[in-house]
Structure 1
């Protein structure tokens, strides 16, 4: 067991960062709680539950929590608990689910910004998204906002979160090679992500988290006023174009997207991580990049 009493502030900060990167979102309670004893007492008080009633209770709980996955221990307890189980007590940690008010606050903060610097400040002050609580840094943008070209990925990775800059580390190096192949670099495009905060453990953002972040990326695009968009990867492609197709089905085709009353042509291609995982896909990405170069030069 790790004792924090003898740890320096730097060691404690490093430990907290380690747990955040591992996906830990809740700390232990101040006093130990015997969950096994609580479970046995609740089981004895309620008795066995009919199978159908238990399944109905689980479906209702899943709907109320927006299908947030439960831990294995929670699923096991749910299978043995009666349908009339009492509501969780205050001692049981609960995941904070973003709600419509947070989405409205994000929209208000985004629309109030009149420049990219104001938008960045508004996002740094915004506290309505759970992702901000576990991220080291907000990853806003990098590059030239006046270039007329935006390159948009899905979410920050661990390197981005550490540096506070989109497309850092090996993925950033791969993207720089992709851009250099068509005569571009970080000074001739604005690089950003759909989601500005890294999800814990690199998990996909939830629907609610995505809805909360949507006003920020849409406002960023409206303020930057790009003439062309290069969209990277499955998540970003589905975010802008809709549908559930994979990047392999939606890549290489120009589509129009509208932000702030302005229509912008956009094309999707594979994310740098896709090319690092499957180098054989570089041929497809090269075709997309050539199409992008031809359009921006036309």
Structure 2
């Protein structure tokens, strides 16, 4: 028998084209997006190649009968769709978390274990204490005349700017004034303020040695949490206070203060136990004194947080 005689198993060009078209239609129905679109001239060229015998100078290598039988018994698997191959879809790989995006940007909802490595200085030079006091006084007058939050303006008695040492090592940063604070114009003078004073004294400070302030300077009605727009309206004020004070540590008291200063959505539980950063200041997050009054069991955790600051400051 001649070696050049066509095999009875040689593919029929027309049948091959029909099978290819059927496969293309099937892959299109199941949503395969990677399949190229057929071009008519390429189809005709492919058909001509199937119809033409192989050039004599490039004969196909002989295939043993055993290998041919094995190939027939093990047909090539059909190409699977992207849905069937999740390992080839990088967006579904569990190891590619938001904080590892290709653009190198971290997720808005994840902070490093210790943000102190990203420290950057406050803008400008620090002012002498007399100038700081004057700037803070001027800013306090601006706050007293502020009308950005219509609802808060209508229900406030006094604005509560903040008080304390103008060159403090520690700033305690709370949420907003309560009823007692609204009446007196001073921060943290109610029951929660009395507990805060005890916390400050437990750290071996006097109240007049630190600075105490809030995110919003007016009491929200019925002691509700400040609205996001109200916090943003006051952001200029509390960030200007911190820029003038430049404390070594900022202790965020509660969720509202922590989320506002750090621009995060993480909970107090996720933010506790490590330092974060606001310019030159190390930021520590702990529970609000009002929460500690409602949940005395959390006082130990709050004391652990303060001890973390004291150890870092060399005071323990």
The correspondence for 1:251, drawn from 272, 294, 310, is 272
Task: Report the TM-score when normalising by structure 2.
Answer: 0.55
Structure 2 counterpart SS, 1:297: coil
Instruction: Kindly indicate whether residue 309 of structure 2 is the aligned counterpart of residue 292 of structure 1.
Output: yes
What's the CA shift for 1:185? 2.3
| Unmatched runs of 5 consecutive residues or more in structure 1 | 1-112
**Superposition map of 1:123-142 within 5 A:** 123-130=143-150, 131-142=152-163
SS at match of 1:138: coil
Equivalent in the alignment of 1:283: 300
How do 1:1-298 residues align onto structure 2 when only pairs under 5 Å count? 115-130=135-150, 131-258=152-279, 263-297=280-314
CA–CA separation in structure 2 for the residues paired with 1:205 and 1:274: 16
Please state whether the residue corresponding to 1:128 is helix, strand or coil. Answer: coil
CA RMSD in angstroms, aligned pairs only: 1.6
CA shift, 1:244, in A, is 2.1
Does the C-alpha gap of structure 1 residues 218 and 114 become closer, same or farther in structure 2, counting only changes over 3 Å?
farther
More displaced 10-residue stretch of structure 1: 275-284 or 201-210: 201-210
C-alpha distance after superposition, 1:131-156 (max 9, x if no partner): 12211110011221222321100111
1:114/1:223 contact within 8 Å kept: no
Q: Deviations over 1:114-134 (max 9, x none)?
A: 710110111112222221221
Deviation at 1:166, TM superposition (A): 0.4
The separation in 2 between residues aligned to 1:167 and 1:121, in whole angstroms, is 20
The structure with the largest alpha-carbon Rg is 2
Query: Where in structure 1 do 4 or more consecutive aligned residues deviate above 3 Å?
Result: none
SS of 1:191's partner is strand
Query: In structure 1, how many angstroms separate the alpha carbons of the residues matched to 2:189 and 2:227?
Result: 23
Is 1:151–1:231's contact at 8 Å kept on the other side of the alignment? Answer: yes
Name the CA distance, whole Å, in 2 between partners of 1:227 and 1:267. 11
Name the CA distance, whole Å, in 1 between partners of 2:135 and 2:298.
38
CA contact (8 A) 1:132 1:138 kept: no
Paired residues in the alignment total: 182
Please tell me whether the aligned partners of residues 272 and 305 of structure 2 are also in contact (alpha carbons under 8 angstroms). Answer: yes
Alpha-carbon distance, 1:282 to partner: 0.7
Alpha-carbon deviation of 1:159? Answer: 1.2
Alpha-carbon distance, 1:295 to partner: 2.2
Secondary structure class of the residue paired with 2:216? coil
User: Following the alignment from structure 1 to structure 2, what is the Cα–Cα distance between the partners of residues 132 and 284?
Assistant: 36
